[in-house]
Every structure is written in structure tokens, then in C-alpha cells.
């Protein structure tokens, strides 16, 4: 005898399978998948294009060093911008200091904290890396057109700002 539960389970299983198939057909519209895969491709590109002059730079250093402003940044600012915990940032800061890419000085505004400053070597690294990124943007522009690339970048920045605002609201609660 078929119970209501068995009938419901079979119906739902088929229904769920159909829904998942519909979702699978839309993989090219799945933001999480696209961003995840793009990030992996960009990491691979970065590995292939790391210059010997960049020494022992690891991919994990980039979110930190790329967010240090020309006038310096505090570890707290870097944590917020890079979305990396302060504990992990502390370790990376020490490693970047050992590599001679950054140095720290006492924060004039708040003597309890430090400001991280790019060294001349760190500035050279950031300049070269950003130059390579701009070259990649030129390639993207050739692929999709300058206008479509600009629209894409604007849309991504709006989406990023939305998520940053959500995070700020969560932190206030």
C-alpha cells in the first residue's frame, strides 16, 4: 500500500529534480558560480604572471598590500577592506615587512595603533601589478567592448557596495 508520505516523497523528489535541472540550465546566470570561477581563473592568471622581481610574494599577500593606500593604512582598515581577520592580517603584515614591501609607524591620530606604509619596493610592486591589471582590462575591453566592460564594472561596484552596506549594518547591531 502506498502511503501519503511515500507519494509526497516521490512527488517532491521528482519536483526537486526538475527544479534543480532548471537551475543547472541557468549556470551562466549564477553569480556565486561565476564569481567563484572568475576568482579561480584570476588566481591562476596571477600565478602565471608573477614577476621574478616580486620575490616571495604569495597570493594571500595581495588583498593586504593592494589595500594599503599611498598615505598608509591601519590594520583595522585593511581588515575591513580585504575582509580578512585581524589575526591573519597580523601574520601577513609581519611577512610583508620581512620581504621589505611595507613598514609601520605609529599612528599620529591614535598612538595605540600603527599605520602601514608601502616601502619604495612595495610601491614598485603595486605599480607593476596594477599595470598588469590594466593590461588585463584592455584584453577584457577587446573581448566585450569598452562600454560593456564599463557597465559590468559599474554593476559589480554597486553590488559590492550593497554587500558592504549589509555588513556595516550587521556590525552596528
Where in the chain are the domains?
Answer: 54-172
Domain 54-172 part of CATH 3.90.550.10: no
Instruction: Read off the pTM.
Output: 0.73
* pLDDT, the chain, mean: 86
Question: pLDDT tens digits, residue range 59-108?
Answer: 889 899 999 999 999 999 999 889 898 888 999 999 999 999 999 998 88
* pLDDT at residue 8 is higher than 70: no
Per-residue pLDDT band at 9 (split at 50, 70, 90): low
Q: What percent of the chain has pLDDT over 90?
A: 46
The CA distance from 23 to 29, in Å, is 9
- For 54-61, the CB contacts below 8 A with 24+ separation are 54/125, 54/128, 54/129, 55/99, 56/99, 57/99, 57/101, 57/125, 58/95, 60/92, 61/92, 61/95, 61/96, 61/101
Amino acid at each position: 500500500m502506498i502511503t501519503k508520505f511515500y507519494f509526497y516523497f516521490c512527488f517532491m523528489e521528482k519536483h526537486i529534480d526538475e527544479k534543480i535541472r532548471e537551475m543547472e540550465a541557468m549556470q551562466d546566470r549564477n553569480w556565486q558560480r561565476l564569481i567563484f570561477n572568475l576568482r579561480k581563473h584570476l588566481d591562476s592568471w596571477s600565478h602565471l604572471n608573477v614577476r621574478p622581481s616580486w620575490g616571495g610574494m604569495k597570493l594571500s599577500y595581495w588583498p593586504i598590500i593592494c589595500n594599503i593606500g599611498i598615505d598608509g593604512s591601519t590594520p583595522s582598515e585593511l581588515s575591513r577592506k580585504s575582509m580578512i581577520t585581524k589575526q591573519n592580517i597580523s601574520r601577513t603584515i609581519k611577512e610583508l615587512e620581512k620581504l621589505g614591501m611595507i613598514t609601520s609607524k605609529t599612528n599620529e591620530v591614535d598612538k595605540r595603533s600603527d599605520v602601514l606604509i608601502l616601502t619604495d619596493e612595495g610601491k614598485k610592486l603595486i605599480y607593476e601589478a596594477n599595470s598588469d591589471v590594466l593590461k588585463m582590462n584592455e584584453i577584457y575591453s577587446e573581448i566585450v567592448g569598452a562600454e560593456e566592460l564599463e557597465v559590468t564594472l559599474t554593476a559589480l561596484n554597486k553590488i559590492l557596495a550593497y554587500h558592504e552596506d549589509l555588513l556595516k549594518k550587521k556590525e552596528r547591531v
